[in-house]
Structure formats: C-alpha cells, structure tokens
C-alpha cells in the first residue's frame, strides 16, 4: 500500500517541498514511530521537538513550521496540518478500498420490501432494515445494524456494527403498582453526514420523532432516549447518555460517560466534561464539569466521610464566625 506525494498535493493542495513528486510513502504514522517510508504530521507546536528526531519520509506542517521542517527533510506545507492529515487518511482509505465495500445490500441482510434503500447506500452483513425505513445516498450500515420501522437516515452516514436505531423509548404509565406500556409511535430522523459508533442506541419517539441533525458524530455505546433532539455538528464521546425529550444545541461536545437528564435544553456551543451529570438546562456557552476527584483510596475515604457532614461543617463555620463577631 502506498501513495505518491505528488498525488497527495494534486488531490488536497498544499506545497510539497524537499522531495520529488514521484516519491512514495507506504504508511502514515505519528512523528515518533514513523519509519523512513512514512508520511507524518506536526499539528501541535508543542511537539516540535519530535520533528527534528523523526525518521518520517515527509512531514505535513503549518506555514510557521516550514523552516524547521525543511531543516530536517521533506515536508508538505498546509494551512491546517491536522485537517490536511485527516484528508490524507481519507485519500489513503479511498485508494485502498476493496470491492467488498461497494454499494448494495449484503445477501445476509434482512431488508423489508417496503424499506427505501438508495442504490448508492451499502447495507452490510446481517443488518435489519424494517418496513418504511429510509436509507439515504452513500450511507453505510457496516454490519449487524438495526434500523427500525419508518426511521430515516440521510446521506453519507456511517453506522457502525451493533447500532440500534428505533427501538422503543422507555415509556410507561404507573397504575396500581404496575407499569402500563406507552406504545412508542414516533420514529427517528437522522440527517446527513452523521456517524454512529458501535452498539449505540437511538430510541424512537413516543409521539413525535427523535432527531439527530446533520453532521452529528456519536461514539460507541451511547444512549439517546426518545424525543431527544441533537443539533448539527455536535459530537458525543463513548458511553454518554441523553434522557428523554432533552434538546442539545449545535456545535456542542459531550465528553465520555457524561449524562444529561431528561426535559432539559442546552444552548449551542456547550461543552460537557467527562462523567459530568447535567441536571439543569444550560443557556450559556462554556465548559461545564462535575466529577469527584480521584485520590488514593485511604484519602478518598476520609474526604468522602467528611463530605457526608459537609452541611454540618458549614453550620460550625457559621457558629465560629458568629462567635468572632460577638467576641
């Protein structure tokens, strides 16, 4: 597997310097592990020290690093080296694609006669696409994906194995100590360019639909409950969860294992830290956090025990302050 440097700049722009257009790279690798046949990249100036020492055949750098890169060897100068690197990985994947990645429905998939699958879509092995589901152009269901009745995916979506789109939301009325099922009559509507990680679940709406807007990226093992609405280009990391009817804005990031409870509204550009539990709506952009700091177990035990007395400690401080005032 290889790419010609000239083919890369022809496809993606940028200026190749210090190497022939005919030179080939046989791998893409980080600066520290790149061999002499590999293309690498420097996106964060913090790692400049790794540049000089790298064995890479060629390094993608920003304009400010051009001199330093040329002092070492060949480089491609690009405005945003990390985005350029991302595009190189796409070029690499495209050049090395197999015929089994072609469009079409794998014979082992179970696709309902009344589902609409675009001819350029790819339905991988052992997927289930139910009645009335719509799969847009160039969208890929990798393998073992379920798309439930009347759920829709837009164009160029990538859905990884084990994903369940359109299972019933978790809705029950309570009657005499028992749960009465609320049938989930809505569906799931997913926009264009959405990527959904392995074993993630997106439930259908109870009455209206669950909505995932264009460009949303969801990692693995995420739970999206019924009637959630996620704004465009929001990204959620693994094991995060959103409870029912919550609306998340555009361009948000939700870090791993964070939870957002139901019936909230988060503004655009809200960033939630790892393992944080969002218990109220957020109207202002910013970074929000709530994580118990890790410690060695013995210290944690002492602090956690004290935490259970925290309100009383506060009363004791108040009393001391009162004494001082009175004294």
Residues 141-200 that bind its own copies (CB under 8 A): 142-144, 146, 148, 158, 160-162, 164, 167-168, 170-175, 177-185, 195, 197-199
Cα separation, 105 vs 119, in Å, equals 9
Using the rule CB under 8 A, is 309 a contact of its own copies? Answer: yes
Among candidates 158, 219, 228, 216, which has minimal Cα distance to 188?
A: 228
Q: Which of residues 70-129 bind its own copies (CB under 8 A)?
A: 80, 82-83, 85-87, 89-90, 92-93, 98, 100, 106, 108, 110, 112, 124-126, 128
Q: How far is C-alpha 112 from the geometric centre of its chain's CA atoms?
A: 29
Q: What's the closest the beta carbon of residue 265 comes to its own copies, in angstroms?
A: 15
User: Which position among 217, 264, 265, 281 is part of the footprint of its own copies (CB under 8 A)?
Assistant: 217
Q: How far apart are CA 119 and CA 101, in angstroms?
A: 14
Helix (H) or strand (E) run with residue 266 in it: strand 265-266
Instruction: Collapse the DSSP code of 90 into the 3-class scheme (helix H, G, I; strand E, B; otherwise coil) and give the result.
Output: helix
Q: Minimum Å distance from CB 237 to its own copies?
A: 6
When binding is defined by CB under 8 A, the residue of 53, 102, 119, 294 that contacts its own copies is: 294
* 98 catalytic residue (yes or no): no
What's the CA gap between 19 and 73, in Å, rounded?
8
Of the candidates 62, 154, 215, 231, which one interacts with its own copies according to CB under 8 A? 215
Which listed range, 8-16, 18-26, 27-35, 48-56, lies at the site for its own copies (CB under 8 A)?
27-35
The reply on whether position 304 binds its own copies by CB under 8 A is yes
Contact between 46 and 7 (Cβ < 8 Å)? no
Stretch touching its own copies by CB under 8 A, among 12-20, 47-55, 65-73, 276-284: 276-284
CA distance 88 to 231: 28
Active-site residue, from 118, 150, 160, 226:
226
- Does residue 6 touch its own copies according to CB under 8 A? no
Question: What whole-number distance in Å separates Cα of residue 23 and Cα of residue 227?
Answer: 53
Give strand pairing partners of 128. 110, 146
Q: Which of 221, 228, 275 is nearest to 249 (CA)?
A: 228
In angstroms, the first-to-last Cα distance of the chain is: 82
Q: Using CB under 8 A, which residues numbered 47 to 76 contact its own copies?
A: none
Q: How many residues bind its own copies (CB under 8 A)?
A: 123
Q: Which of residues 222-261 bind its own copies (CB under 8 A)?
A: 223, 225, 233, 235, 237-239, 241, 243, 251, 256-257, 259, 261
Catalytic positions, please? 226
């Amino acid at each position: 597997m290889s790419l010609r440097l000239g083919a890369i700049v022809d496809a993606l722009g940028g200026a190749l310097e210090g190497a022939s257009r005919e030179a080939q790279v046989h791998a893409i690798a980080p600066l520290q592990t790149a061999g002499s046949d590999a293309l690498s990249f420097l996106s964060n100036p913090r790692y400049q020290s790794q540049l000089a020492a790298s064995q890479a055949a060629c390094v993608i750098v920003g304009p400010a690093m051009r001199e330093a890169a040329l002092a070492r060897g060949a480089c491609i100068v690009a405005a945003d080296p990390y985005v350029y690197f991302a595009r190189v990985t796409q070029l690499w994947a495209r050049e090395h694609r197999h015929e089994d990645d072609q469009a079409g429905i794998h014979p082992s998939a179970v696709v309902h006669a009344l589902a609409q699958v675009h001819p350029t879509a790819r339905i991988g092995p052992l997927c289930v696409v139910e009645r009335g589901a719509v799969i847009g152009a160039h969208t890929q269901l990798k393998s073992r994906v379920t798309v439930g009745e009347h759920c829709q995916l837009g164009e160029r979506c990538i859905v990884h194995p084990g994903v369940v789109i359109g299972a019933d939301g978790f809705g029950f009325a309570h009657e005499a100590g028992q749960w009465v099922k609320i049938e989930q009559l809505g569906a799931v509507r997913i926009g264009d360019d959405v990527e959904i990680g392995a074993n993630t679940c997106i439930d259908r709406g109870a009455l209206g639909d669950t909505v995932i807007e264009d460009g949303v990226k969801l990692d693995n093992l995420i739970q999206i409950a019924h009637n959630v609405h996620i704004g465009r280009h929001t990204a959620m990391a693994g094991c995060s969860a959103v409870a029912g009817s919550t609306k998340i804005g555009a361009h948000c990031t939700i870090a791993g294992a964070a939870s957002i409870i139901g019936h909230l509204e988060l503004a655009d550009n809200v960033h939630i830290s790892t393992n944080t539990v969002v218990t109220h709506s957020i109207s202002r952009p910013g970074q929000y956090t709530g994580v118990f700091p890790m410690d060695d177990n013995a210290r944690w035990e002492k602090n956690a025990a004290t935490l259970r007395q925290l309100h009383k400690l506060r009363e004791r401080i108040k009393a001391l302050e009162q004494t001082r005032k009175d004294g």
